[in-house]
Amino acid sequence: MARSKSSNRWLEEHVNDPFVKQAQLDGYRSRASYKLLEINDKDRLIQPGALVLDLGSAPGGWSQVAAKLVGDKGRIVASDILPMDTIAGVEFVQGDFTEQAVFDQIMATLDGAQADVIISDMAPNISGVNAADQAASMYLIELALDMAHQALKPKGSFVAKVFHGEGYDEFVKAVRAVFDKVAVRKPDSSRSRSREVYLVAKGFRGG
């Protein structure tokens, strides 16, 4: 089957992408690792000894970064529908966290502890229908914020990928309502034509 022009363009970009090459050299599982590294350099979210919850973690690029940042005294709890190869220091729960049983498993893994930071690089499977894709991505991100209400400690931080489009402004308002500081970041490693940005929220007011 012939590849479409857009998939050819993606492949060409991917092969020539300096962040893809750097990820291979540095041993990271995806170029997305550099997005979290860049955000953390600027916003100092993940501290040694922290408990981090990584939603939509596969293939593990963000969990790898977070595990290094928290060090031996920290903990990473990660979850994704897709399987993820083991990472030292990361406890992984496979399944759809929108399902009660998987949510319960994540909470059981946290074992009564609340996360210092919740990170989410989740995106839905893209159908190519913009309105449907945007709705699906907003649904995921709203669930990530709901998880923050359940599992983030007061004064904790939240980082999530959001796509500009329908529902974006309302979501930013919802985050501002429960966090002291909210910034929008577009890391250098995020492709310029992508509509993605990262909301970085600090000072969770709880509840």
121 is in an annotated binding site: yes
State residue 10's pLDDT score.
43
Report angle CA 14, 43, 183 to the nearest 5 degrees.
85
137 alpha carbon, distance to own chain's centre: 12
The pLDDT tens digits for 184-199 are 999 886 666 678 899 9
Residue 72 among known ligand-binding residues: no
Asked whether residue 116 is marked as a ligand-binding residue, the answer is no
**105, pLDDT greater than 60:** yes
CB within 8 Å of 9: residues ≥ 6 apart: none
Band of residue 172 on the pLDDT scale cut at 50, 70, 90: very high
Its pTM stands at: 0.87
For residue 18, whether the previous peptide bond is cis, meaning omega lies within 30 degrees of 0, is no
Sheet bearing 90-94, strands edge to edge: 90-94, 75-80, 51-55, 115-120, 152-163, 196-204, 179-185
Number of domains making up the chain: 1
| Tally of helices (H runs) and strands (E runs) in the chain | 7, 7
Q: Which helix (H) or strand (E) holds 121?
A: none
pLDDT digits over 85-96, tens only?
999 999 999 999
pLDDT digits (tens, 9 = 90+) for 1-50: 455 555 555 445 555 566 566 655 555 767 788 899 999 999 999 999 99
What are the tokens at 46?
């993940």
Task: Please tell me the least confidently modeled range out of 12-26, 47-61, 153-167.
Answer: 12-26
The more confident residue out of 181 and 26 is 181
- Say how far apart CA 30 and CA 21 lie, in whole Å: 10
- Which residue of the set 5, 35, 161, 186 is catalytic? 161
What dihedral angle (degrees, nearest 10) is formed by the CA atoms of 146, 151, 153, 155?
Answer: -20
The DSSP string of 181-207 is EEEEE--TTS-TT--EEEEEEEEE---
Is the pLDDT score of 74 beyond 50? yes
Token output for 127: 């159908």
Helices (H), 60-184: 61-70, 100-110, 130-151, 168-176
SS3 53: strand
188 is in an annotated binding site: no
SS3 149: helix
pLDDT at 102 over 60: yes
Q: In CATH, what number is assigned to the domain containing residue 140?
A: 3.40.50.150
- Asked if the model's pLDDT at residue 171 lies above 60, the reply is yes
96 labeled part of a ligand binding site: yes
Domain residue limits at 18: 5-204
Examine the residue annotation and report whether 161 is marked as an active-site residue of this protein: yes
The Cα 91–Cα 93 span in angstroms is: 7
